[in-house]
Chain A
């Protein structure tokens, strides 16, 4: 299984600012995913990031608000832009095997974001 780290682990930010979250994997992976988990809620997929192509965003999420970079097969960043208190959530990255019919995913430890 892949080992995934995220930075920062938590942060407290002021509204109107932006935060970039980093996700590092210990092996090369094709697909990386970014999720949001609002307080007490389940996970919602924000976007899928494939190396060498634009990220694919889910309904309700836009690139201007959540720009994503995927410069290589082991790293990705998610930026939460122009933050408001509603953006307070845990943000998680995950990776999948990327091939085949079954997509067990491995998750990073998450970034707990609080927006004041």
Chain B
């Protein structure tokens, strides 16, 4: 399977703390994306990082990409209760047919 793996599977923190989630994948990629899913609803796109980029920021989000290790991390700083959700990484392959392959996801719980 090409599906990526994320760790931890579940993460529980207090408001104000930082949350770090990691994603590993198996094949060469064109880009890597992070999505958030609240309570089994639709996914919301958070950030995209290209294979030639190493780090990207968006608000309280920081994403890193290490293509030599086939891994990425998502850091959420100063977390809030509203950040409680499942977070998925997804990779876009190098082939012309650009489908996404999703990782296993991390369930984040931020307690007030």
- The answer to whether A109 touches B104, judged by C-beta atoms less than 8 angstroms apart, is no
- The answer to whether A107 touches B44, judged by C-beta atoms less than 8 angstroms apart, is yes
- The answer to whether A109 touches B41, judged by C-beta atoms less than 8 angstroms apart, is yes
- The answer to whether A109 touches B42, judged by C-beta atoms less than 8 angstroms apart, is yes
Whole-angstrom CA separation of A108 from B99 in the bound complex: 17
- For residue A106, which residues in chain B have a CB less than 8 angstroms away from its CB? 45
- The answer to whether A103 touches B102, judged by C-beta atoms less than 8 angstroms apart, is no
Interface footprint category on B: 20 to 34
Contact with B along A84-116 (1 / 0, CB 8 A): 000000101010100001111111111010000
Interface residues of B in 14-67 (CB under 8 A from A): 30-31, 33, 35, 40-45, 48, 50
* B36 vs chain A, min Cβ distance (A): 11
Among A42, A45, A108, chain B packs the most CB atoms within 10 A around the CB of: A42
Whole-angstrom CA separation of A92 from B40 in the bound complex: 10
Which of these, A4, A45, A48, A112, contacts B40 with CB under 8 Å? A112
Tell me what chain B mostly uses at the interface: helix, strand, loop, or mixed: strand
- For residue A102, which residues in chain B have a CB less than 8 angstroms away from its CB? 30-31, 48, 50, 92, 98
* B42 vs chain A, min Cβ distance (A): 4
A66 touches B (CB below 8 Å): no
- For residue B41, which residues in chain A have a CB less than 8 angstroms away from its CB? 109-110
- For residue B105, which residues in chain A have a CB less than 8 angstroms away from its CB? 42
- The answer to whether A105 touches B42, judged by C-beta atoms less than 8 angstroms apart, is no
Contact A103:B92 (CB < 8 A) given known A43-B102, A45-B99, A45-B100: yes
Whole-angstrom CA separation of A101 from B92 in the bound complex: 9
Binding site for A on B (CB under 8 A): 3, 30-31, 33, 35, 40-45, 48, 50, 88, 92, 97-105
Binding site for B on A (CB under 8 A): 1, 4, 33, 37, 41-45, 48, 90, 92, 94, 96, 101-110, 112
Q: What are 22 inter-chain pairs, A to B, with CB distance below 8 A? A: A4-B42, A42-B3, A42-B104, A42-B105, A43-B43, A45-B99, A45-B100, A90-B40, A92-B42, A92-B43, A94-B43, A101-B31, A101-B98, A102-B30, A102-B48, A103-B31, A104-B48, A105-B33, A105-B45, A106-B45, A107-B42, A107-B44
